[in-house]
Amino acid sequence: DVKVTQSSRYLVKRTGEKVFLECVQDMDHENMFWYRQDPGLGLRLIYFSYDVKMKEKGDIPEGYSVSREKKERFSLILESASTNQTSMYLCASILGQGNEQYFGPGTRLTVT
């Protein structure tokens, strides 16, 4: 049973703070993703990674960066949090193309 875990379910940060969101998967998946989920906008891809130390920009990478030092862990970094980054953040992993993406429970981030 695939498990994707995220470090926090709820997070409250102040404007300008550096924020780290962590994601871990336990099924040796090579591909990992970060999305943000907003009402009326659906899921939008922020960054993804096909392998350790590799990263690709998604559709909305501005204001974010990522780190993948180990295969099982994919971190999303908000260098200087802003109020428009208040959102639900979802991490996902997948074995390969055409397969199911497995999602984490999400982190609801509030930036005040």
- Binding residues for another protein, rule: CB under 8 A, are 31, 33, 35, 40-45, 48, 50, 56, 58, 90, 92, 94, 96-101, 103-106
**Whose Cβ is closer to another protein: residue 27's or residue 41's?**
41
CA distance 56 to 106: 21
Q: CB of residue 18 vs another protein: minimum separation in angstroms? A: 26
- The smaller minimum CB distance to another protein, of residues 24 and 92, is found at 92
As a whole number of angstroms, the distance between CA 14 and CA 27 comes to 34
**Residue 107 CB contacts under 8 Å (≥ 6 apart), including other chains:** 6, 7, 8, 9, 10, 11, 21, 88, 89
CB of 71 to another protein, least distance (A): 15
